[in-house]
Amino acid sequence: MVSNVLTALVVGVGLGVFLQKGRFCFVHAFRDFFAFKDSRVTKAVLVATTLTMVFWSIAYALGYYQGFWTPDWGLTGLLGGFVFGVGMTYAGGCASGTLYRAGQGYLHFWLTLAFMGVGYAVFTVLFPTLESAYFEPLTFGTGVTLFEVSPVPAPLLALGVAGLVLLAYATIVGRSAAGGAGGTDDAAAVRADGGTPTSRGLGASAPAVGLRQFVAGTREYFRGFAEIDDWKAASKRPWDPRTAALGITALAVLWFTQVSIVGVTGPEARWTGYLLQQVGVDAGSYEYWGSILFQGKGVGLTVDMVMIAAVILGAFLAAFWSGDFSIRVPKRRRVPNAVVGGFMMGAGSRLAPGCNIGNIYSGLAELSVHSFIATAGIIAGVYAMTHWIYRDVGCAI
């Protein structure tokens, strides 16, 4: 137990540091990709998720793991994910982003956290009704991860998926490199004239071109470390999102072998029950807190609650060190974003269930069927909300 608390502190503080220094934000990853095709953070999310999948599959195959998180799958993931995606885009931060920005001094995101708590509490009160009216009719199958059901050993499966992701990525990069500035037009022209030798040649070479760029870029990234002469100054500057992705992956592997997959809103919902218990509410008597979140073990502190609290601490330390910490008071017109967005994130993460970390990061990395659906729901929510917020200036996608 003591070692688990220590692990929770190390993982939480570490995650806080890497999230803050890498500005690792899932809203940014999708919103800015839709709005103006900025794919920098999108790629960092892809790197982190894919690497984590490979390492987790190895840990699973070797037996060094504490269990998967595989909720039953169905339309709940799509609907709850959509509500969560709209909420996080409106609030301006995902579940993990809200945590590290709270540590950075944003009162906006403390307010978001508070209203996520309201979302968890309202959900808990309504849970008995929701169970029969929402979860039962919309759930189609038992939760499962492909690691457990695949006839192929998990590491091979993970490497196969990682290979496909890399190939798809290389093809996109290669196509745009081959097409130059007018890449999309060229690609459309190629599609239009179908099977001419030139177009087939381009199609075949695109992944190779992309792979070469990928290798060159990766090499350049690691060479960049050798060029750092003043490590103290470098540590204060913002870090490459890929550094954050690598750090997060390492911590997620440690967490997976010692405790569980990485989640944020589950522990937060437990925090809500725990804090209400402290002010006299009998949280354990509510079915959702008592028998589901705390699994009948009584309302108390769990290691994952310690871990996510440590994320706030880690983000504070990183921001303070970088000169990025300050108490930031939100503009009055942004208060509805924190209040409504936070509530939608809290409620949406319970309806799905799972947030961006549970589903997009951990869920995809453990190849959970539920999380594929929930990820689609979250991304659809971000897409819809981004188009609404950008309605005056237009989106690229």
Partner 1 sequence: MTGPSLDDFVEMPDEVDDETAEQLADQATETQDMTGEVCPYPQVEAKKAIQTLDSGELLVQETDHVPSTENVPRAVGDDADARVWRSGSGLYRIFLRKR
For partner 1, give the closer residue by CB, 3 or 231. Answer: 231
Q: How far is the CB of 312 from partner 1 (least distance, A)?
A: 16
At closest approach, how far in Å is the CB of 87 from partner 1? 14
Q: How far apart are CA 62 and CA 74, in angstroms?
A: 30
Closer to partner 1 at the Cβ: 141 or 217? 217
Q: How far apart are the first and last CA of the chain?
A: 48
DSSP H stretches of helix in the chain: 2-21, 26-36, 40-62, 75-91, 95-103, 107-130, 136-138, 146-149, 154-179, 183-192, 197-226, 231-236, 241-258, 265-278, 287, 303-322, 335-351, 364-365, 369-389
Q: Which is nearer to partner 1, 292 or 395 (CB)?
A: 395
Contact 27, 89 (CB under 8 A): yes
Write down the least CB distance from residue 216 to partner 1, Å: 8
Contact 91, 348 (CB under 8 A): no
Distance (Å, rounded) from C-alpha 149 to C-alpha 43? 29
> What's the angle, vertex CA 258, arms to CA 254 and CA 263, rounded to 5?
75
User: Based on CB atoms, which residue is closest to partner 1, 67 or 238?
Assistant: 238
Torsion over CA: 368, 369, 370, 372 (sign)? positive
Give the shortest CB-308-to-partner 1 separation in angstroms. 21
Site residues, partner 1 (CB under 8 A): 23, 25, 27-28, 31-32, 35-40, 43-44, 92-93, 104-106, 108, 172-173, 175-177, 179-181, 183-184, 213-214, 216-218, 220-221, 238, 240-242, 319, 323-326, 328-331, 334, 337, 386, 389-390, 392-393
Report in angstroms how near the CB of residue 109 gets to partner 1 at its nearest: 8
Question: How near is the Cβ of 331 to partner 1 at its closest, in Å?
Answer: 4
Token readout for 20 is 């803050």
Contacts of 35-39 with CB under 8 Å at 24 or more apart are 35/386, 35/390, 35/395, 35/396, 35/397, 36/395, 36/396, 37/396, 37/397
- Rounded CA-CA distance 7/102 in Å is 22
At its nearest, how many Å lie between partner 1 and the CB of residue 324? 5
**DSSP assignment letter at 293:** I
Residues in contact with 50: Cβ distance below 8 Å, sequence separation at least 6, in sequence order:
161, 162, 165, 166, 365
Residue 139 vs 171, nearer CB to partner 1: 171
Alpha-carbon span 326 to 316, nearest angstrom: 10
Cα separation, 123 vs 350, in Å, equals 7
Comparing CB distances to partner 1, the nearer of 184 and 278 is 184
- The least CB distance from residue 291 to partner 1, in Å, is 37
Name the residue nearer to partner 1 (CB basis): 283 or 344.
344
Nearer to partner 1, 69 or 109 (CB): 109
CB closer to partner 1 out of 135 and 390 = 390
- Give the nearest distance from C-beta 181 to partner 1 in angstroms: 5
